A and B are shown apart, each in its own frame.
Chain A
Amino acid sequence: MADTAGSDLLHSDLYAKGKTVHNKRIDGPFRRFKWLVMIVTLAIYYITPWIRWDRGAYAPDQAVLVDLANRRFYMFDIEIWPHEFYFVAGLLIMAGIGLFLVTSAVGRAWCGYACPQTVWTDLFQHVDRFFDGDRNARARLDKAPWTAGKTARRLAKWAVYLAIAFWTGGAWIMYFADAPTLTYDFWRGDAAPVAYATVAILTGTTFWLGGFMREQVCIYMCPWPRIQTAMLDEKSLIVTYKDWRGEQRGSLKKAAKNPEAFGDCIDCQLCVAVCPTGIDIREGQQIGCITCGLCIDACDRVMKETGRPRGLIDYATLDQCEAEAAGAPATPAWKALLRPRVFIYFGVWTALGAGLLFALGTRTHTDLTVSPDRNPPFMLLKDGSVRNAYTLRLRNMEARPRDMEVALQGLPAGAVLWTDAVSAENAAPVQVITVPANETKVVRAYVLVPPGTDEDDSEHFSFRLTSLDEQGETDIAETTFAMPEDDE
């Protein structure tokens, strides 16, 4: 047994050598759409950090800035504070539901057009084409021995890969600090180590994943195709090969001799040649298909040249395919968008968006949170009055210092408060506190009720914060007042 099993192992390959995909250049509506998406997404990515936005003296003037050190997120006129993280969470949820929406409507459009892996792979493939020529030339060059010419070409190509990768990593860090300052510091060697590390890591991964791994990322590494399998159904738009129309395949010559026996597919292999993941769509649905539509461009061109109707490979739902195979007339692809699932996702997505916009529109630039001291919960003073201590957090989300008034609401008459900034002698029902621009001021506040106050063990009351300016924004924070238990 041992030797037979051993020989089996010896004969089997331990690993499979990756096959390089040299996809052929093709032109067509989907290719042009891919160009457009690539240009728009890359432009947004590279240019955004350089847009300036004047926010006054106390805030940075970068339009989009993730200021981790000060825990602020700036996006044009919107400034997100840590306690408003629900905006970011909401956007992430919207992005998730948006992905479901797009997937249920047009299948793997994310994979085919917008996924960074797809965009950068596409970009690197154009670099390949520039240096090594189109499909056949590239394949030839790959097999050719390493002459000086090939080495020079490869080094030049990899240098361009590296430049793109470095630019990509460099653009990323610009979102986290003032871009011009960071660029200057970066080249002077004064930037934070984390900046260099981030650029190094992103340069490395872009170079490796975009330049060499390419479709293997989609097939082996990415979890999304697996999740997507569960999200697609027979009513989702996908790239399909209409086999009832294409089969039996045969070359033009054979088909010309015997038109009855052959379908529309002339087995020219162009759909395989243009595929960026190197699959054959005619084998049916498969995980390697990112539905970029380049095979549709290729096939439509061949159909036109051979005088056959377009759409042998096309966007269609499996239901439509079945109906068409059974003889029903072709349905336009957009009709696949009109189904309950799409509307439900769209409804949830819009509701979330509307909710976030509403929250954004109604939020104030002040905020007050109160946490009562629990250790000890109350303090009995000499004269029998009872004091509670609270930690107040007053937020001033405007780019200027503001005076704010803190008042007690709902405590019996005689209740006073003071803070650690003013002593107990200055206790009063209302205190004015100045909060610096763009800051959260933490103060410890004491509230005192006079002796003989008749109350439950913990009476609910509120701190009321009012900004002493033309806006007069108010914010109310509820809390409790603890009293000693009666020992008589």
Chain B
Amino acid sequence: MTTNKTPASAGRRIDEPTGTETVGHEWDGIEELNTPLPRWWLYTFYATIVFALVYVVLYPALPMIDRATAGTLGWSSRGDLAREMSAADAARAGIVAKIAATDIEALPANPDLMQAAISGGAAAFKVNCVQCHGAGAAGSPGYPNLNDDDWLWGGTLTDIEYTLTHGIRWEGADQTRATYMPAFEGVVDAAQARALAGHVLSLSGKAKPSPAGAQMFADNCAACHGAGGEGMPAMGAPALNDAIWIYGGTQAEVAKQILAPRHGVMPAWQGRLDPVTIKMLAAYVHSRGGGQAAAPAPAEPAPDVAQGTEAKTDG
């Protein structure tokens, strides 16, 4: 720098083309003009510095080892969130109370309330249900699709709410719905199972009828699944005469289910979710397109159904 610098005495000269004073710096023949900033510009700059200092004192700013300085105002984004959440809860309280006070089968008669319930249910679904039933409630093998019109345990609002509340085959919930498809391994052999599966598929037109399979079906399966395979929602026996298969609809898959059946388990949400949330979830699931209207006569609730095994042996 010293080599390029013009001596101080020669430094402050007037640059001819611009008429501006130079500051005396020169690099490779290029000189620096002394063009001061406007005063207001400088004051604005100082003002920003003052602003920053005040801000640092008032708000969280300086990073420390595990957290930033708190700031004397005590403001935090977390606090903001908490306030907003409680404000949202307070705003929701009215409609939530209304939903709580309304019988679930009466909800559809009140479109605004139903819509609110569906929205609330959609939010709760995203937190609690998507893990098994999928984000679009379309399920996957073993986890029922909630959009279609096939209901293992009934698709009315009351049925759905009951399933949500008590679960399916959920240990620890007294009123849980529970039936078991018995394993036919040892009762029928693999070939017989395939024949039986063939008959089952023929019920929905997917295979040719087989007399041997039909006989076996009448002896062993019709008690729960119905003579025509129409199923029995009261005890969770799936309909076999339709296009929907929870564990897969090929002959091999059906045969496998006959020999060594799998049984889905659904947690009871009573105690984990409050009754209003469960009600809203039921409304949402019902609204997915396959919900059934309530039966004309008051639906018989489930206590009987809970002893499903007994019903099966009777049948």
Q: Which residues of A contact B (CB under 8 A)?
A: 1, 4-5, 7-8, 11-18, 213, 216, 220, 373-376, 379-384, 387, 389, 420-421, 423-424, 446, 451, 487
In whole angstroms, what is the CA distance A137 to B145 when docked? 88
**A325 smallest CB distance to B (angstroms):** 22
In the complex formed, the residue of B with least CB distance to A9 is B23
In the complex formed, the residue of A with least CB distance to B8 is A4
Q: Is A15 touching B23 in the complex (CB atoms < 8 A)?
A: no
Contact with A along B141-179 (1 / 0, CB 8 A): 000010111100000000000000000000000000000
Q: Is A382 touching B11 in the complex (CB atoms < 8 A)?
A: no
B11 is contacted by which of A4, A16, A387 (Cβ under 8 Å)? A4
In whole angstroms, what is the CA distance A88 to B34 when docked? 46
In whole angstroms, what is the CA distance A383 to B243 when docked? 6
Cβ of B111: which chain A residues have Cβ within 8 Å of it?
A: 421
**A434 smallest CB distance to B (angstroms):** 13
Q: Contacts A8-B12, A376-B136, A379-B147: A220 and B38 contacting too (C-beta < 8 A)? A: yes
Q: Is A376 touching B243 in the complex (CB atoms < 8 A)?
A: no
Is B212 interfacial (CB 8 A cutoff)? no
A-B contact pairs, 29 of them (CB 8 A): A1-B5, A4-B11, A8-B12, A8-B23, A11-B12, A12-B36, A13-B36, A14-B36, A15-B36, A15-B37, A15-B41, A15-B42, A16-B38, A18-B38, A18-B39, A220-B38, A373-B136, A375-B138, A376-B134, A379-B138, A379-B147, A379-B290, A381-B150, A382-B148, A382-B149, A382-B242, A382-B243, A384-B204, A424-B289
In whole angstroms, what is the CA distance A104 to B86 when docked? 58
Is B101 interfacial (CB 8 A cutoff)? no
Q: Is B135 touching A375 in the complex (CB atoms < 8 A)?
A: yes
Cβ of B24: which chain A residues have Cβ within 8 Å of it?
A: 4, 8
**A106 smallest CB distance to B (angstroms):** 30
**B46 smallest CB distance to A (angstroms):** 11
Q: Is B39 touching A17 in the complex (CB atoms < 8 A)?
A: yes
Q: Is B39 touching A382 in the complex (CB atoms < 8 A)?
A: no
In whole angstroms, what is the CA distance A22 to B151 when docked? 86
In the complex formed, the residue of B with least CB distance to A373 is B136
**A205 smallest CB distance to B (angstroms):** 13
In whole angstroms, what is the CA distance A11 to B12 when docked? 9
In whole angstroms, what is the CA distance A153 to B183 when docked? 103
In whole angstroms, what is the CA distance A383 to B7 when docked? 99
Q: Is A8 touching B148 in the complex (CB atoms < 8 A)?
A: no
Q: Is A423 touching B39 in the complex (CB atoms < 8 A)?
A: no
A379 is contacted by which of B21, B148, B242 (Cβ under 8 Å)? B148
Cβ of B250: which chain A residues have Cβ within 8 Å of it?
A: 487
Q: Is A16 touching B37 in the complex (CB atoms < 8 A)?
A: yes
In the complex formed, the residue of A with least CB distance to B244 is A382
Q: Is B148 touching A12 in the complex (CB atoms < 8 A)?
A: no
In whole angstroms, what is the CA distance A387 to B138 when docked? 13
Is B218 interfacial (CB 8 A cutoff)? no
**A445 smallest CB distance to B (angstroms):** 10
**A218 smallest CB distance to B (angstroms):** 13
In the complex formed, the residue of B with least CB distance to A446 is B289
In the complex formed, the residue of B with least CB distance to A389 is B289
Q: Is A216 touching B40 in the complex (CB atoms < 8 A)?
A: yes
- Could you tell me how many residues of chain B have their Cβ less than 8 Å away from some Cβ of chain A? 39
In whole angstroms, what is the CA distance A216 to B289 when docked? 66
Q: Could you say which of A14, A376, A421 has the most chain B C-beta atoms within 10 Å of its C-beta?
A: A376
Q: Is A382 touching B150 in the complex (CB atoms < 8 A)?
A: yes
In whole angstroms, what is the CA distance A441 to B293 when docked? 25
In whole angstroms, what is the CA distance A384 to B205 when docked? 10
In the complex formed, the residue of B with least CB distance to A387 is B289
Interface residues of B in 217-261 (CB under 8 A from A): 239, 242-244, 250
Is B287 interfacial (CB 8 A cutoff)? yes
In whole angstroms, what is the CA distance A13 to B20 when docked? 13
Cβ of A375: which chain B residues have Cβ within 8 Å of it?
A: 134-136, 138
In whole angstroms, what is the CA distance A375 to B135 when docked? 7
Is B187 interfacial (CB 8 A cutoff)? no
Cβ of B34: which chain A residues have Cβ within 8 Å of it?
A: 12-13
Known A13-B34, A375-B134, A376-B134; 17 more pairs at CB < 8 Å? A1-B2, A4-B5, A4-B7, A8-B12, A12-B23, A16-B36, A16-B37, A16-B39, A376-B136, A379-B145, A381-B150, A382-B148, A382-B243, A383-B242, A384-B243, A423-B293, A487-B250
Q: Is A7 touching B147 in the complex (CB atoms < 8 A)?
A: no
Cβ of B127: which chain A residues have Cβ within 8 Å of it?
A: none
- Across the A-B interface, the 8 shortest Cβ-Cβ residue pairs: A375-B136, A382-B242, A376-B138, A4-B8, A384-B243, A16-B36, A15-B39, A15-B42
Cβ of B39: which chain A residues have Cβ within 8 Å of it?
A: 15-18
Interface residues of B in 121-148 (CB under 8 A from A): 134-136, 138, 145, 147-148
In whole angstroms, what is the CA distance A18 to B290 when docked? 76
Is B295 interfacial (CB 8 A cutoff)? no
Q: Is B36 touching A376 in the complex (CB atoms < 8 A)?
A: no
Q: Is B243 touching A380 in the complex (CB atoms < 8 A)?
A: yes
**A279 smallest CB distance to B (angstroms):** 14
Interface residues of B in 1-47 (CB under 8 A from A): 1-2, 5, 7-8, 11-12, 21, 23-24, 34-42
In whole angstroms, what is the CA distance A374 to B134 when docked? 13
Cβ of B35: which chain A residues have Cβ within 8 Å of it?
A: 16
In whole angstroms, what is the CA distance A216 to B287 when docked? 64
Q: Could you say which of A213, A383, A451 has the most chain B C-beta atoms within 10 Å of its C-beta?
A: A383
In whole angstroms, what is the CA distance A7 to B24 when docked? 11
In the complex formed, the residue of A with least CB distance to B11 is A8
Cβ of A446: which chain B residues have Cβ within 8 Å of it?
A: 289
Q: Could you say which of A14, A220, A382, A446 has the most chain B C-beta atoms within 10 Å of its C-beta?
A: A382
